[in-house]
Structure 1
Amino acid sequence: MGSNKYGPDIDMWSIGCIFGEMVTGRALFPGVSVHDELLRIFKILGTPIETSSDGQFTDGQAAPDIDEFRVWPGVSQLPDWKPDFPEYSRIPLAPLLPKLNTTGIDLFQKLLAYPPSARISALHALERKFHNSCIPPPYLVFNV
């Protein structure tokens, strides 16, 4: 979103995108510009929802109706944020990522959490049970 702050949590977003591409065989957010790419992200993950410093939602929605994955405190202060972005709800990820089981989808969501500070760390991502289901089958050796 145009922030000049960089750290490992930014890399985790990139890993989430690569993970999605490996699972689907295509780019998930193939934008042709920053604005277009953000819209493609929002169409899948939902448009981020701002909260005020006291944790109250500023868009008038009641807290029980809020999708926790869309909450991003301070998003409206980021350089590429536009107050007129269309309001998209998060779509179900299972149809988008049919090759992933529930632990894989959970990992994907944690890699692509909107606030960088909420993203899963590399260490915690490697500890996820999802990786146990990704062990390749043994290679078959053929005698020729």
Structure 2
Amino acid sequence: MNLIQTHRIFNGEQQIWQHFSDCLNCEMKFAIYLPDTAKNQKLPVLYWLSGLTCTEQNFITKSGYQRYADEYNLIVVAPDTSPRGESVADDDAYDLGQGAGFYVNATQEPWASHYQMYDYIATELPALINEHFPTSGTQSIFGYSMGGDTGR
């Protein structure tokens, strides 16, 4: 894993990490917020899943959630929504391919070799987070624009 960025915000650090994903067969990025209390104790983790066309930057830049994560002593992880890179299949349509934000496992090529997002989110990423960060073992998941009505 490689630390790409770190910024102080409220009483913690907003970090961006990059790592090779075995599930997705490519480099992936995720954002993680670590309140200062994580230096002395293990904390629960919330995983945020953004929707269509977002990266790990969308939630961490626009929401201001860090204030609440600090107040409630929560680690928050926001992964990129999709595999990306030159070797990853893509499509000209904005809502298919890289950045589409489908958290499912593809079963047909050209998608199946990289688009195993369910396995990444449910298994690989939590194992990585638990291995490298002070997590308590308690975790939950939330997100926006994951299908259904968007409030229109």
Q: TM-score, normalised by structure 2?
A: 0.27
Higher relative CO (CA 8 A, sep ≥ 6), structure 1 or 2?
1
**Greater per-residue strand proportion:** 2
**Greater per-residue helix proportion:** 1
